[in-house]
Structures are given as structure tokens and as C-alpha cells.
Structure 1
Amino acid sequence: MTRVVLQFGTSRFLQAHADLFLHEAREAGQDVPPVVIVQTSGSAARAGRLAAFSDPAGFPVVIRGLEDGQPVERRIAVKSVARGLSTAGDWAEVVRLFCEEADFVLSNTGDAGYAATPGEAKAGLGIGTPLPSFPGKLAQLLHARFQRGGRPLTVLPSELVNRNGPVLKAIVRGLAAEAGTDEAFLAWLDGSVVFANTLVDRIVSEPIEPAGAVAEPYALWAIERAPGLTLPCEHPAIVLTDDLEPYERLKLHILNLGHTVLADIWQADGRPEDETVREILADPAIRARLDAVYRDEVVPGFAARGMEKEARDYVGTTLGRFLNPYLDHRIADIAGNHALKVERRLAAFLDWAGTPAPVLSSIVNRVAA
């Protein structure tokens, strides 16, 4: 039986995260299915990247930074990816692979990747033409798999959305309802498809063209246990947990929140276009502002939730990652979709913590205005 991992999204993040883990697991002798990467955006600028995914020599991932205080640099030729496809040009093959060969689905479709187009499924979930949004396409593919008697499937989303698996499943169910599908399909979704709740964590600072990336040594793929969950491999960076929320809160409301605070300062002050996280924090005044946000607003919020020690430790780890002297993480890359990130990272923290946070509140109020 032919098996594949079908990955939606060509992001450099997954190249240096899940794709690298799968490669390393294969190198260690595990029976890991090959990855087929599917571009969902239709961007012509990604054509070269798709072609590069089909190169049997693989694509480069450079791990650069500090491990136990010592500088490291490793260059790996990642060979877990077999080829690249596009929903715009290869839809029939994407449908075939999804229905017949996929055991796992990975996704990383950006901060707005779950935004379904209003009314897109009203005409049904037929597979003649792909629907506009990623959830719409996923609903079509799942419905086609159901109709063809497809075997169970695990969906492993990696978008930075709180409870990403359940959220994605709810959107797919909503599209199925909009399309008027019968209850048998919804029952199959509940019984045969696991939408895993996951958290990914690694700073991937720059692309290598046409495919590949530069990333820090730190990496985490935390996945919440669920009935029927299966994984494509075992890896030291993969952690199975009974409760994902502590991992989510620490990353979203410390590392990601810190990035967004810096992006807000960068935008408001009109700082250099190519400035990196390390460079902006070399300004003592800005470092003091970020330290104050962590010390006076973020850690007290976690303390109110019984997570003070975990937060203090993670702040220390995060600042070390921000100051990595071997990584050039551009603020301009972080600043994309700023309003949405402020909502998910800062406003969600304020709602969750319920403690005074005047600086964070001012950012939320100004961006929302």
C-alpha cells in the first residue's frame, strides 16, 4: 500500500521543522512515508520552490545558533519531500493522493489560513474545482475520501491558532453543513479523522532559494494525545502530552507576544527596514521596554494562573533565542498580519490572564481603533 504525508503550505517553517524531523527519522531507520507538498495560494512566485521540492538531492536546512552555550552550524540535505504540487495546476493529482495514499495531512497556511470565504460551499463539496480557502479545499478532499471509502486519517495542523485542530475541524464541519452534506459524512469525520491539537515552536529566520531555510537549534512539536491519533514518526523534538494548553500559552503569550511587541515598536518608531530582532534589542531603551513588559505584565499574568516559574524560565529561554548572534530574524517578516497577531497574542493574553497590563492594553486598543 502506497502511503504519503500530504503537506498543505510551502512555508520555510515546515521545511526546517516537520519536514526536517521526518527526514531525520527516515535517516534513523524509521518507516516514514514521503512528503508531497501542496501549494494552496496559487502564487506564481512559488513555482521555483515547487520544482525544487522534486529534486532527489533534497533541499538545504541550516541549523545555526547556540547549544549549551556553544556555537553550532549544521547543514542538512532534507530528502523527506518527494515532490511539489499546486492546487491550481495539479488538482486532480492532489485529489487522487488525498483519497488513495495520504495517511497524514500537515498544514501551515499562515495567520489567515483558516479564513473561509463566505458562502464558498453553498454549491456543494464536489471536486471539479478547488474552493478558494484552505478549509474549503480540505472539506472537499475529505468528502471525496469519504465517498471513496477512504481509510482513517490524521490531520496535523501547525498554524498558530489556539486549539488549531478542533478549530479547523469546526470550520470544516461548518462548510459541510453549508454544502448540505448528509450526516454519514459528519459521522465519518468524527470516527475516522483525527484533527490533532498541536503546537510548533522554532525560529526559522530566513529562506534559502529556491527551497530551504535557516533555523535555530531549538525546536518543539507538541501534540495532544487523542483517541485514534497516530504520528508519522518519532523524534526527540516531538512531545506527546495530555494537555497542550501550558505549551500553547507559554509560546503564544511570551515568545510570539514578545515578537509582536517588538514589531509594534518597529512600526511606530519607523525603524530600519531590514532591522532584525537581535539588532532592535541592542538598543538599550527598547530592551528595557520589552523586559518591563515581561516583568510587569506577562509574568504576573502567568502567576495569576499558577504558572509563574514556568513563565520566568520561558522568558529567559526566549530572550536567549531572540539574541542568538548567528540568526538574522527580520522584524519586517514578523510584522506581517500585525493586527491579527495583536488580537491572538496580546488581546488573548489579556482575556486569559485578567491582570493589569497597561502597555499591552494600549497596543491592543490602538491597533483595534
Structure 2
Amino acid sequence: MSEIRTPILQFGTSRFLQAHADLFFSEAAQPRAVTVVQSSGDSVRAGRLAALAAPQGYPVVIRGLVDGKPHEAETRVTSIRRTLSTATDWAELVRVFCDEAEVVISNTGDAGYQPQPADLDPQPSQAMSFPAKLAHLLAARFHAGARALQVMPMELLPENGRVLKARVLEILRDSPEVARWVEGLPFANSLVDRIVSEPLEPAGAVAEPYALWAVEMAEGVGAPCIHSAVRMVPDLEEIERLKLHILNLGHTALADFWREGGAREGALVRELMDGPEGAALLALYEAEVIPGFARKGREAEARAYLAATLDRFRNPFLDHCIADIAQNHAQKADRRIRAFLDWAGGPAPQLQAIVERASA
């Protein structure tokens, strides 16, 4: 058996995770070791996998404004001890999942939960969605007689823990004993926030100082680590609505304005904020977003969060490419804008038009 023991098993290799959860695990009061799993099977990223687990760690550069003053610092992340791929290392992944894992985290992208034709196949395969792969791993852990573990998805979905558990149970519907065991496991609802503007090669990232990992309190759910950015909260709804419908909605609206204006290559968020796209976004916030929060009795907190959000969008240290934000645009418009319309009610013709353009 390997001498490395990693209580954290992470699905996803994104620069966001590198500058968020993996950084927190490295900086925690009691650092936690991580095995990172690439679930996409993308061979182009093999170099990144090797660099993530390098003994010297990888760099994360933090740049932004702290208390109104410029701040820049570099740290090295050393929490990642092993990297695997679902495409080539399934047997070792099963061993680590059954023998070592205490907490499973994931950030597999906005489309990561999309059902795939292979999801109900009896044997695991690379063609499966992430929930289907997780279902097979949970079944293996059950049959191995291992103790319960905690699942903490980080995808930007409302009630992401509940959504992931429901999808896993759907896949396990023909395995009632495993399904009953999984039903009793804690799947935490969480919300994450940090703008990670650019990658460093072969691994690492540049990010803003602001960071949040909010985890909803529930039976069996504990903090993934002790870190100032990790918050256990009784209810995610307040934080979730502000982030999803102000910061994330703003990013998606800005991407729409950029696309409609010709999609200039290489455009940065901070540059757009000084142009017609930024002016259009400010008008949209004032005309449709803030009034939506006001209808829910939350105008004051929305305006305070918006002020902080605009500072983050204008951060002169972040080269945040709008083209990155525009990826998976239709799914983002649905989850960030259509969901706001359903929640807030009232007239919002500009937001409705963005949703319609995204789905066209």
C-alpha cells in the first residue's frame, strides 16, 4: 500500500480549485493532503497533473486591493500529494476512495452533472458523467465495508449537495442496498467564491484576495479544514442569492454584451467595465437586478454587495478574460439569470432578452 495517505479526494484540476480549496488545505491550521482526480480524461492536461503534485508545490499569486490598498503576494501550494485520472487509473482510484478518503470534493464545471447515455451501464467507463462515476465509487466503498464519508460538491448549483445526491441515487436505483447506504451519507450544500483570473504554467494561478467557501450546517457535515475563508453557516440562501444573482449574473450579462458587440478577442473584464459594456451592466443592475432584490426586502444588502462586486470587476491586477466567462454561456444564463427571474418576479425585459439570446 502507498505510504501517501490523502483524506481529501478532489475531482477536478481547474485553476479555480488550485487557488481556492487546494490553497486552503495547504494553509490550514492543520494542513490536509489531497489526491486530485482528473475526470475528463483529457490527455493534453497530463503535464498539469504532474506539476500539481510536484514536491516543491506550485505557485498561487494573489493580487488585488486589501483595505483599499494594492496587495500582491505569492505562496506555494503543497497540499496535493497524488494525481490520478479516471481514464487510466480507475483501480488505484477505487483503492484511494475506499481506503483513504474522508472528504470528497468536486468542481467539474457547469455541465458536469449532465446525464450521459452511459450513466446506467453496469461497469464504469470514461463516457459516464461525474455523478455516475461517483456512484460506482460509492458502491465500491459500500461493498468494501468502509465507513461513511462526506461529499462536498463545489459546483455553482443551488443546493449542490442535494442535487448531486439525488442524481447519484437515481443512478443507483437498481442497487437498493447501496442506495440506502448512500442516502445516509452527508452531501453538503456549499457555495464558493473567488475570481481566479489566469493560469500559470504548468500549474498554478493568479487570483484576487477575496475568497469564500461557505458550507451549510447539517447533520454529519463538518468544515473541510480550518481556514479563514471557510465558513460554516446555518443557511446558504442569503449568500447564494447575492453571489449568484449579482456577481455571477453580472459576469454572464457582461459576456452577453461582449458577444453582442462583436466578441473582441482578448477583452478583459476590467477593460469592459470602462466601456459601453460596463455602462450597460451598471444600468441593468439599477433597472432590473436591484429592484428584484428590493421586492424581496433585501435592497440594502444587495447594494452593499454590488459595491464590493464592482470593485472586484475593476480590480486592476486581474487579467480576467471575458472569453473564459463566456464558456458554457447557455447553462450559465439559465442558472444565473433565468433563476433570478423566477425568484424575483416583476418586469425584467433586458434580463429576459439575455436568456433568450443565450438559448437561441
Q: Normalising by structure 1, what TM-score?
A: 0.94
Match of 2:340 in 1: 349
Asked if structure 2 preserves the Cα contact closer than 8 Å seen for 1:131 and 1:137, the reply is no
Q: Distance in 1 between matches of 2:350 and 2:107?
A: 31
Match of 1:61 in 2: 60
Query: Secondary structure of 1:114's partner?
Result: coil
Asked if structure 2 preserves the Cα contact closer than 8 Å seen for 1:197 and 1:224, the reply is yes
Output one character per residue of 1:89-136: Cα deviation in whole Å (capped at 9) or x when no partner: 111110100011100111010110011213521x43x45x45521111
Give the letter aligned to residue 210 of structure 1: P
Match of 1:33 in 2: 32
Match of 1:18 in 2: 21
Q: Distance in 2 between matches of 1:198 and 1:280?
A: 30
Asked if structure 2 preserves the Cα contact closer than 8 Å seen for 1:35 and 1:82, the reply is yes
Superposition RMSD in Å: 1.4
Say how many residue pairs are matched: 357
Asked if structure 2 preserves the Cα contact closer than 8 Å seen for 1:158 and 1:198, the reply is yes
Query: Secondary structure of 2:119's partner?
Result: coil
Query: Secondary structure of 1:120's partner?
Result: helix
Asked if structure 1 preserves the Cα contact closer than 8 Å seen for 2:7 and 2:103, the reply is yes
Q: Distance in 2 between matches of 1:106 and 1:131?
A: 21
Q: Distance in 1 between matches of 2:142 and 2:65?
A: 47
Asked if structure 1 preserves the Cα contact closer than 8 Å seen for 2:159 and 2:189, the reply is yes
232 and 366 in structure 1: CA distance in 2 versus 1, 3 angstrom threshold = closer
Q: Distance in 1 between matches of 2:298 and 2:334?
A: 22
The match for 1:291 among 282, 306, 322 is 282
Match of 2:209 in 1: 217
| Displacement of 1:46 | 0.6
Contiguous gaps of at least 5 residues in structure 1: none
Give the letter aligned to residue 215 of structure 1: A
| Displacement of 1:281 | 1.1
Q: Distance in 1 between matches of 2:39 and 2:190?
A: 21
| Displacement of 1:41 | 0.4
Structural mapping, 1:323-334, within 5 Å: 323-334=314-325
After the TM superposition, which parts of structure 1 deviate over 3 Å for at least 4 consecutive aligned residues?
A: none
Match of 1:159 in 2: 155
Percent identity of the aligned residues? 58
Match of 1:189 in 2: 182
Give the letter aligned to residue 144 of structure 1: A
Contiguous gaps of at least 5 residues in structure 2: none
Q: Distance in 2 between matches of 1:292 and 1:135?
A: 39
21 and 297 in structure 1: CA distance in 2 versus 1, 3 angstrom threshold = same
The match for 2:141 among 134, 138, 145 is 145
Query: Secondary structure of 2:294's partner?
Result: helix
Match of 2:72 in 1: 73
Asked if structure 2 preserves the Cα contact closer than 8 Å seen for 1:91 and 1:130, the reply is no
Give the letter aligned to residue 316 of structure 1: A
| Displacement of 1:287 | 2.3
Q: Distance in 2 between matches of 1:70 and 1:120?
A: 50
Q: Distance in 2 between matches of 1:118 and 1:89?
A: 21
